[in-house]
Each structure stands twice: as C-alpha cells, then as structure tokens.
Amino acid sequence: MILRKTLNLKPIFNRTIFIVVIIFFYLLPINIGNAYSSQSLPIAVMIGNSPQEIIHQTGLANADVVYEINVEYPFTRLMAIFLNNDSTIVGPIRSSRYYFSRLAAEWCPIFAHCGGQSIKNEKIIDLDQIHYSSPYWRDKNIGGWINLFSNTDNLREKCRKLGFQTKLDLENYLINSRTLNLSRGNISKISIKYNHKYSVSYIYEPNRNTYLRYVNDIPHQDSKSLEHLSTSNIIIQYVPVEKISGDKEGRLEVNIIGEGIAKIFFGGHYFISKWVKKSKEQPTMYYDSQGNPLKLNKGKIWIQIVPTETNVWFK
C-alpha cells in the first residue's frame, strides 16, 4: 500500500491573501485622516437672522459650520455650510454680501442665496434664486420677503441637472483641524455684544462637551424641531468693519483679508489665536501661540466675525 502524504494548502493560501491585503493598504496613498475626500459638494446657504427671521429659521442644527457677520445695522446674517448628505430644509434664505461669498469660496460649494451680489468665482456654483427658482419655494404662511426656503437635496439635484460635477476632494483646514476631544475646562459662558439691540451668548455644557447658543438671552432654537442650537467650537474673529461711504442702505465694508486676533473656545477652554487670510484665493487659517495651525475639537463650528471694537466677555 502506498501512503500518499497530502498537503493542506488552505491555511497557507489564507495567510498569503491576508499578507497581500495588509501590504496593499500599507502602500496605498490614501489620506485616512481626511474623512471628506471625494465627498458630495458642500452647500453654503445664506440665512436671515433678524428678529422676524430667527423665529422661522430651520436647518442650522444640521450645518457643520456657521458664519455670523454684520450686515446693515443692527442686523447680522448667517452662512451655513453643509458637508453631510442629510436631507435638510433650510431657510429663510436671504441675499449675500461680497464678504460672505469670499468665505464661501474656501469650501468650493453650491451657493444658495437670493440676490445681493453678482458672483464671478469659478470655485462657486452660484444657485441664485433670482436666476434658478426651481430648487426654492416660498412658505405662504410667512409674510413678506422672509419666506424663501430650500432643501439640500433640491440644491444638489439642480446642480446635477445643470451638468456640474457633484463630487470633489475638498482640502479645507477647518475640516482637518477637528481632531481633539478636549473637555472639562472652566470657562462656562461666552457673551458677544454686537450692539444694544443684539447679543449672542454660549453656555458650556460639560456633560455633552458642547455650547448651547442664546440670542438676547433666549435659547436659539430650530423653528420646526425646537432643537436648541449647539456647537463644539466657537471662533470669534476680529476684523476691520466700516460703513461704505455714500451707500444709502448702510452696507458695510468687512475686511476678511489680512490678519488679526481670534479668540477660540472649545471644551470649556480658551485660546488666543492669530487669523490669516493672505488673499481672496487663500483660505483663512488660525494659528496658535507657537505659529502652528490650531487644532479644534471634533464637531460643529460657529465662526463669529465681529468688528474689532466688539465687546466680548467670558468667565
């Protein structure tokens, strides 16, 4: 009888496949830290923030980044940046100002607004409601000019129908800076007084490691879900602001190009920072006291761009 010694190749084969896979992923040139590579196009939406508009605001709770900047006295306006693919109703949608679109360009977004400026920037897909009405609707239950709304799905679908690319590899400092989980700081309240009619404050919630937002000491809520708006990071950026000479509407010159001081809060902690935006084409950067790009906590960001003389308190 001839005994045949059989060789079980299955374990060896499996080990070989495993080693090949490990080597492949080790050598593959992918930036694992950038969760937004090949993401859907960001959406930037101009949102009214007057007392009449705040009570109708919706969608801000789903925004990843929100900018707040002065417009004609005594009001501010918001620009919400949506990086996620969630379907979100957002509004009331209002007109833009040139300084908002300069910041929007840093995100290469679909830009939703209703007039205010003529945008000529190849980094922005300009879905001005005046020219593209289909993604928008007006809520007949809200009177006046503050009843314009849209849905992020509608805006992306319109972009596709117009033939624009719907994916991009977004390189943005603020996205990649959100790596920390710092918490349990002792700064519990931040207050910003824009003028005698309008102030914003944030109260730190250590159990959630976020800040709840208040407008004139009243909780800032979504009008539909009644969710109290919150954020993980607050950037207060001081910039020169002047009235445009001869402008009867009281429009402003807001100088977001240059450099200056920023006060940054996350996890109950406070950091002094230097902001730098070298040109219209360059992104805004925030640096720590050693001159390194400042890291932020994971989560949402609210950026309060304020005149240099604005009073800010924290304790």
Cβ neighbors of 148 (< 8 A, separation 6 or more) are 91, 92, 93, 94, 114, 129, 136, 137, 138
Residue (of 157, 137, 159) closest to 149 by Cα position: 137
Q: Are 230 and 211 within 8 A, CB to CB?
A: yes
DSSP string, 122-180: TT-EEEETTT--TTEEE-TTS-TT--EEEEHHHHHHHHHHTT---EE----HHHHTEEE
Task: For the chain, give every residue range classified as CATH 3.50.90.10.
Answer: 39-172, 174-314
Alpha-carbon gap, residue 82 to 85, rounded angstroms: 8
Q: Are 211 and 270 within 8 A, CB to CB?
A: no
CATH number (3.50.90.10, 3.30.1490.20, 3.30.590.10, 3.30.930.10) of 174-314 reads 3.50.90.10
Cβ neighbour number for residue 26 with a 10 Å cutoff:
7
Superfamily (CATH) of domain 39-172 = YerB-like (3.50.90.10)
Q: Are 305 and 68 within 8 A, CB to CB?
A: yes
Alpha-carbon gap, residue 247 to 24, rounded angstroms: 61
Instruction: Identify the residue whose tokens are 């495993």.
Output: 18
What residues in the chain have per-residue pLDDT under 50? 1-13, 16-38
